[in-house]
Structure 1
Amino acid sequence: MRALTVVPLQSGTAEVRDVPEPGTGGDRLLVEGLALGVCGTDREIVSGAYGWAPPGHDRLVLGHESLGRVRGAPEGSGFAAGDLVVGIVRRPDPRPCPACAHGEFDMCRNGEYSERGIKELDGYGSELWSVEPDYAIKLDPALAETGVLLEPASVVAKAWDQVERVGARAYFAPERVLVTGAGPIGLLAALLGVQRGLEVHVLDRAESGPKVRAVEGLGATYHSGQVSEIAGKLRPDIIIEATGAASVVFDAIAGTGAYGIVCLTGVSSAGRTISVDLGGANRSMVLENDVVVGSVNANPRHYTAAAQALVAADPDWLASLITRRVPLERFAEALEARPDDIKVVLTLGR
Structure 2
Amino acid sequence: MRALVLTGPGEAEVRRVPEPQAGPGQVLVDVERVGVCGTDVELFTGEMSYLHTGAASYPLRPGHEWAGTVLATGPGVDRDWVGRRVTGDTMIGCGECARCRAGRHHVCPRRHELGCRDGLPGALAERLAFPAAYLHALPDAVDATLGALVEPGGNALRAVRAAAVAPGERLLVLGTGTIGLLAAMFGRALGARVHLLGEHEPTAELAGGPVWTRQTLPDLAWDAVVDATNAAALPGLAVRLVEPGRTVVYIGLAGAPSLVDTREIVLKDVTAVGILGASAGLAGAITAYAEGDADPRPLVAATVSLEQIVGVLAGERPRDAGPGPKFHVDPRR
TM-score (norm 2): 0.86
Q: Does 1:282 align with 2:263?
A: yes
Matches within 5 A, 1:265-304: 265-270=251-256, 278=261, 282-283=263-264, 285-299=265-279, 301-304=280-283
Q: Does 1:198 align with 2:179?
A: no
Distance 1:270 1:101, change over 3 A: same
Q: Does 1:214 align with 2:206?
A: yes
Matches within 5 A, 1:112-131: 112-120=110-118, 121-131=120-130
Alignment deviations for residues 36-82 of structure 1 (CA, whole Å, 9 cap, x no partner):
11111111111123456x99x96222111111112224687384333
CA–CA separation in structure 1 for the residues paired with 2:167 and 2:300: 33
More helix by share: 1
Pairwise CA distance, 1:288: 3.1
Q: Which runs of 5+ in 1 are unaligned?
A: none
Q: Does 1:46 align with 2:44?
A: yes
Q: Does 1:345 align with 2:333?
A: no
Distance 1:152 1:94, change over 3 A: same
Distance 1:161 1:78, change over 3 A: farther
TM-score (norm 1): 0.82
Distance 1:309 1:250, change over 3 A: same
CA–CA separation in structure 2 for the residues paired with 1:201 and 1:332: 34
Q: Which runs of 5+ in 2 are unaligned?
A: none
Pairwise CA distance, 1:188: 0.9
Distance 1:194 1:208, change over 3 A: closer
| Contact map agreement 1:334 1:346 (CA 8 A) in 2 | no
CA–CA separation in structure 1 for the residues paired with 2:211 and 2:117: 37
CA–CA separation in structure 2 for the residues paired with 1:319 and 1:307: 13
One-letter amino acid of the structure 1 residue matched with residue 196 of structure 2: V
| Contact map agreement 2:163 2:226 (CA 8 A) in 1 | no
| Contact map agreement 1:326 1:333 (CA 8 A) in 2 | no
Q: How many residues align?
A: 323
Distance 1:205 1:320, change over 3 A: same
One-letter amino acid of the structure 1 residue matched with residue 132 of structure 2: P
| Contact map agreement 2:300 2:325 (CA 8 A) in 1 | yes
CA–CA separation in structure 2 for the residues paired with 1:237 and 1:124: 38
- Kindly, what percent of the aligned residue pairs are identical? 29
Pairwise CA distance, 1:223: 2.0
Q: Does 1:81 align with 2:88?
A: no
- Equivalent residue of 2:86, what SS? strand
What residue number does 1:332 align with?
310
One-letter amino acid of the structure 2 residue matched with residue 88 of structure 1: D
Pairwise CA distance, 1:89: 0.8
